[in-house]
Structure 1
Amino acid sequence: MNELCVDVGTMSLNKLGEQSCGDMVQMIRDGEDTVLVLADGLGSGVKANILSTLTSKIIATMIANGMGVDECVKTMIDTLPVCKTRGVAYSTFTIIRISGNETAEIIQYDNPAVILLRNGKNYDYPVTTRTISGKTIMESKVRLQCGDVFIAMSDGTIYAGVGETLNYGWQRENIIKFVEEHYDDNLSAQAVSSLIVDACNDLYQNKPGDDTTAAAIRVRHRQVVNLIFGPPQNPKDLNKMMALFFAKQGKHIVSGGTTSSLTAAYLGKKMETSIDYLDPEIPPIAFIEGVDLVTEGVLTINKALEYAKDFVSGNKLHQKWHSGKDGASQIARMLLEEATDINLYVGRAMNPAHQNPNLPIGFNIKMQLAEDLAKLLQEIGKTVNVSYF
């Protein structure tokens, strides 16, 4: 397995007054191969959404199945419905195909040119141009390096602020300067996309004049994070559960009061609990030698899940957990930004506190939290394994 992997994130704004976004991003992963397509349909609203959806799905599926660019473009032209008003079937597109987590092929038609950051600075990658079925297509091939960040955009980004906060919009060179200034080795692809789209929304003064989308691909090394949450249903399985948990490489998170005590006993170490309430909603963390992070259970995991849900929908809470030192913020940082591969060890033992009829949760809250968290992490491209005990 290649030591490199890719992290993908996307964010969009709808044009003011439109319920549907005219931009669409499709991604297909197959082992160490990833295909990302960003399409921008003609106009806005439902019609544009149909065009961009068809374009992105057709191209992503064909490219992922090994078909050539020429065939993809021809199929798209023959398939897209023709606009009755303008008499054309039109959708711009950007394709980024990652092969074996080693090389990137960039194929572009009429969208703003992909930005590539290398070592935090703009990298001018080679571009060749050719005509396919009357369309001028730009093609590039790049050997991947750890830390590379590819940014694809719809034209709503470069039109942000035009005639309002900026005379000529937010030009590509301005966007490059912006992302260079905000570059951080630890920023996830989702955070990069959100950063750009949030800036566009500010330039539009919260009244987007066009559908606006950014999609980022970040090349990085694999990082394993392991999380154990709750003691096993059968106490006899404790040693097995702990042995499997600590046998895994990477970082280790222990969540839950009982689980923390059992972990300390298993390791033969003392547990020290912090007296600092860094966030009034989150119980303090604790410390056990040999464990990267020790937290309370249900409340902390629930808050981390809240951050994960926000991460995929708007990422408005990013600044809070990106710099927070409470348990939930640290879990969010480790799972959402640092980890590529996540192993969850979930104990099925019931906590009597969770069976209180006055609480708005059922006794199976722990199971539900674990399942919801695993599902969300998979949705954002993490490799997740869940083991129940």
Structure 2
Amino acid sequence: SKIISTMMAAGLPIEECVATIAGALPICSVRGVAYSTFTIIHILNNEVAEIIQYDNPHVIVIRNYEQYDYPKTEINIGGKKIYTSTIKLQEDDVFIAMSDGCPHAGLGGKYNFGWKREEIADYMQVLVAGGYTAKNLSTMLVDECDSLYGHKPGDDTTACVVKIRKREPMNILFGPPSNRDDANRMMALFFSKEGKHIICGGTTSSIAAKYLGKPVVASLSFERSDVPPIAHIEGVDLVTEGVITMNKVIQYAKDYLGDNELYEDWNFKKDGASLISRLLFEESTDINFYVGRAVNPAHQNPDLPINFNIKMNLVEELSECLRKMGKRIKVSYF
């Protein structure tokens, strides 16, 4: 994968890349299968997907929440059968690539003949309808394979999911401005932006409520003990507490970038951190932070320099995580 990715990134023709890899892959003399296989999903100008497949289960495509039987052309390169496809992209298309460890899951156990590709396609079709991110869809597929293997996988099990979607802006207001006279300007900029609006912090939500002329209505529902309850302001999509909630979101973000073991914690719960995580990780593509520089004395550590501000660090840390997820981030300070 590293070789072919490097070649494609260098702009070499796809045929040359495939020929180089196909010619270098040995065949097992006993089993008659390739020691190494590959699946390439090459997105061109956000308009077309080129799929090149060699000896892996064929890519599953879900279109309009139904399985899509896309055309395949068989070519022979170096004595190896390569399948190529060109698909014009549509919004919400989902491409699911996998190694043969996925259909081998459950072999001789739950399923006599393994978990067939058609059965995997049925399983993924249901999950796609749930609106999950590509990352969570791949996690759920691999987790199900792990379960079918009895948590003792007998083969390499790899899955990759690509989801085609339009850009979605998201706006987060976190903390009051250092100069009170800037409050109205900060609010005007924040609420003028397209997309959903999230407000974090008690003082910040009070300023926003005053600007909108609407009350802050506290939620009486305590979803979990380690995350403060949310509130409601008419005209705002989500209102949460500040530092504690944001710390939890960062914990989820770091896990999401790694093994994604905590996705069930935030994917289905309704506490502030879970709701923010779903909006940032799953819905948004372009995130605008509006961060006030006012210092809350309760958040200052006496062992650290007086100008240290936890809030700034939280925003920087979360922004970095979101960039690694492929989000476009803009941070404005007030």
Structure 2 match to 1:279:
224
Structure 2 match to 1:254:
199
CA distance in 2, matches of 1:241, 1:189: 34
1:63 and 2:46 aligned: no
1:223-272, Cα deviation, whole Å (9 max, x unpaired):
11111111223333333322221121000000011111111122232212
1:309 and 2:254 aligned: yes
TM-score (norm 1): 0.78
1:348 and 2:293 aligned: yes
CA distance in 2, matches of 1:82, 1:179: 31
The amino acid across from 1:375 in the alignment is: E
1:325 and 2:270 aligned: yes
Structure 2 match to 1:289:
234
Correspondences of 1:1-389 after superposition (within 5 Å): 56-76=1-21, 90-357=35-302, 363-389=308-334
1:279-306, Cα deviation, whole Å (9 max, x unpaired):
1111111111211111100111111122
Partner SS, residue 158 of structure 2 = strand
Asked if structure 1 preserves the Cα contact closer than 8 Å seen for 2:173 and 2:290, the reply is yes
CA distance in 1, matches of 2:170, 2:102: 35
Structure 1 residue 61, shift from structure 2 partner: 3.1
**1:343–1:209: structure 2 CA closer, same or farther, 3 Å change rule?**
same
CA distance in 1, matches of 2:46, 2:109: 42
CA distance in 1, matches of 2:275, 2:47: 31
The amino acid across from 2:158 in the alignment is: T
Q: How many residues align?
A: 329
Asked if structure 2 preserves the Cα contact closer than 8 Å seen for 1:351 and 1:363, the reply is no
Structure 1 residue 343, shift from structure 2 partner: 1.1
Partner SS, residue 98 of structure 1 = strand
Asked if structure 2 preserves the Cα contact closer than 8 Å seen for 1:73 and 1:133, the reply is no
Asked if structure 2 preserves the Cα contact closer than 8 Å seen for 1:130 and 1:138, the reply is yes
The amino acid across from 1:164 in the alignment is: G
Asked if structure 2 preserves the Cα contact closer than 8 Å seen for 1:147 and 1:185, the reply is no
CA distance in 2, matches of 1:82, 1:161: 25
Structure 1 residue 324, shift from structure 2 partner: 1.4
Asked if structure 2 preserves the Cα contact closer than 8 Å seen for 1:341 and 1:382, the reply is yes
The amino acid across from 2:195 in the alignment is: G
CA distance in 2, matches of 1:81, 1:352: 65
Structure 1 residue 367, shift from structure 2 partner: 1.6
Unaligned ranges ≥5, structure 2 = none
Asked if structure 1 preserves the Cα contact closer than 8 Å seen for 2:300 and 2:310, the reply is no
CA distance in 2, matches of 1:177, 1:81: 33
CA distance in 1, matches of 2:24, 2:75: 22
1:12-59, Cα deviation, whole Å (9 max, x unpaired):
xxxxxxxxxxxxxxxxxxxxxxxxxxxxxxxxxxxxxxxxxxxx2232
1:59-83, Cα deviation, whole Å (9 max, x unpaired):
2233244322221124436778999
The amino acid across from 2:244 in the alignment is: L
Asked if structure 2 preserves the Cα contact closer than 8 Å seen for 1:112 and 1:155, the reply is yes
Partner SS, residue 165 of structure 2 = strand
TM-score (norm 2): 0.91
RMSD, aligned CA: 2.5
- The share of aligned pairs that are identical, in percent, is 57
The amino acid across from 2:85 in the alignment is: S
1:85-135, Cα deviation, whole Å (9 max, x unpaired):
x9x995311111112222111111111110001122211100001012333
**1:212–1:342: structure 2 CA closer, same or farther, 3 Å change rule?**
same
CA distance in 2, matches of 1:225, 1:260: 17
CA distance in 2, matches of 1:255, 1:178: 37
Q: Identify the structure with bigger relative contact order (alpha carbons < 8 Å, sequence gap 6+).
A: 1
